[in-house]
Amino acid sequence: MRSWPSPFIPDIPGHGPAVRVHDTARGELVTLEPGPVAGLYVCGITPYDATHMGHAATYVTFDVLGRALRDAGHEVRYVQNVTDVDDPLLARAVRDGVDWIHLADRETSLFREDMTALSVIAPDHYLGVTESIDLIVADVEALLANGMAYRVDTPDAVEADGRDVYLDISQRPGFGDLSGLTREEMLPIFGERGGDPERAGKRDPLDPLLWRAERADEPSWDGATLGRGRPGWHIECTALAVRYLGMPFTVQGGGTDLVFPHHEMSAVQGCALTGTRPFAQVYMHQAMVAFEGEKMSKSKGNLVLVSALRAAGVDPMVIRLALLDHHYRTEWEWTDADLHRATQRLAGWRTALSGNGGAPAGGLLAKLRERVADDLDTPGALALVDAWAVRTLEHGGTELGAPGLVARAVDRLLGVRV
Ligand code: 5CA
Ligand code: ZN
């Protein structure tokens, strides 16, 4: 799938320290040790509505991670999916009386525009489910062949012998290691987040769907020995990560709403498929962004859209600064005050950065790098630039070239074009 144009990443002297982040599985800060190439998989959108501040927070967070890894001297291989066929997308298309393909296409295009405007570095592999069917089918067939998956009778399948396929979770060691949830805690969440604990014929209510046999009025693809149908949700991310990054890759990312079941299942499936562990070295999650008292979500409709703000004339760099002002592990609620504060900040920075000279910047570079590499402390990084801007504005610029250096550092590390 076409991705979007990546922004230019300016060079600055030296390089940053090793990157430390919070691993959800271990519940502690860990230093990433990826070797020359860091593999990053971040769960992409289900394109049935436009990019909201929660999505934007997630993609900006992992963009900053990618920038920190590059600054520390690693090459970054970045993979992202598009869930361009799934139940909520099909349901929205039916509700609105539109073709699901057009809906997915339209919202994915808008997402690309939003990511471009927000200066987010594009994935190296940007892949829709609908263009990855063969890969997914081969993986589900492999899981059936090695006894990790099983078929369930499906009376409402279109094909007479059509049967759904599930992963046999009870066979899997390590299930629950990521989320740390008990079975009792898992069951209701599984039901709320796309799972089907009540489905008759499953060996375990928590078993995730791998392949859904074709039903009437639903899109379907040729599944070779699986029969016609479409993939379950989690297997798409397993298949793409294994194929395009290989196991174990450096970081699996997304919002905290994906810890269970999505990332737990993706990981268990990857281990079942390859016979190796772990799936990813580290699992990183962006805290939920709320609006009007609740998690911002397409299904609830309490949305602040990136595209709507852009259409209203808000500078995308103001949006990016508003997001960076919140640490990725802290839940927060979007308000107009965020916009106001970021607008003031950008204006102040622009004034300070437009002179010939500025306050000395050598020390600032090292401190900025340290903040970003320390569990992506972006609020701390913004505060450092604020302090430099105040010094420059209050005392005038003494160091020629400092504004240029600071502007490049802010662009390289934080993705803010001033
Ligand atoms: N297509 C799946 C992942 S494979 C999906 O969850 N799509 S999504 O469109 O619902 O979400 C896209 C990304 O944004 C996910 O990483 C999700 O965790 C994150 N996200 C969704 N809502 C919020 C929110 N309110 N705050 C922060 N991140 C969010
Ligand atoms: Zn995913």
User: pLDDT tens across 351-397, in order?
Assistant: 999 988 999 998 999 999 999 999 999 999 999 999 999 999 998 88
Residues having CB within 6 Å of any atom of ligand 1: 43-46, 54-55, 57-58, 81, 83, 237, 254-255, 257-258, 286, 288-289, 295-297
pLDDT at residue 170 tops 90: no
- CATH architecture of the domain with range 335-414: Up-down Bundle (1.20)
The encoded tokens of residue 175 equal 């299930």
**C-alpha distances in angstroms, 12 versus 35, 71, 139, 161?**
22, 9, 43, 62
Q: Which ligand has its closest atom nearest to the C-alpha of 82?
A: 1
| pLDDT value of position 322 | 98
Nearest to 235 by CA among 206, 204, 202, 212: 212
**Taking residues 268-274, what's their average pLDDT?**
97
Rounded Cα gap, residues 121 and 66, in angstroms: 8
Q: Is 74 annotated as a binding residue?
A: no
Spell out the domain ranges in the chain.
20-145+174-186+235-290, 335-414
For residue 52, the one-letter residue type is H
- Residue 36 Cα to ligand 2 middle (Å): 25
Q: Whose CA is nearest to atom 22 of ligand 1?
A: 54
Q: Which ligand has its closest atom nearest to the C-alpha of 50?
A: 1
In this structure, whether the domain defined by 20-145+174-186+235-290 belongs to CATH 3.40.50.1970 is answered with: no
Long-range contacts for 139-146 (Cβ within 8 Å, ≥24 apart)? Answer: 139/235, 139/238, 139/239, 139/242, 139/273, 140/165, 140/210, 140/211, 140/223, 140/226, 140/231, 140/235, 141/224, 141/225, 141/226, 142/273, 143/167, 143/210, 143/269, 143/272, 143/273, 144/225, 146/272, 146/275
Q: Is 271 annotated as a binding residue?
A: no
Out of 79-88, 327-336, 374-383, 391-400, which region has the weakest mean confidence (pLDDT)? 391-400
Q: Is the pTM of this model over 0.95?
A: yes
pLDDT at residue 89 tops 90: yes
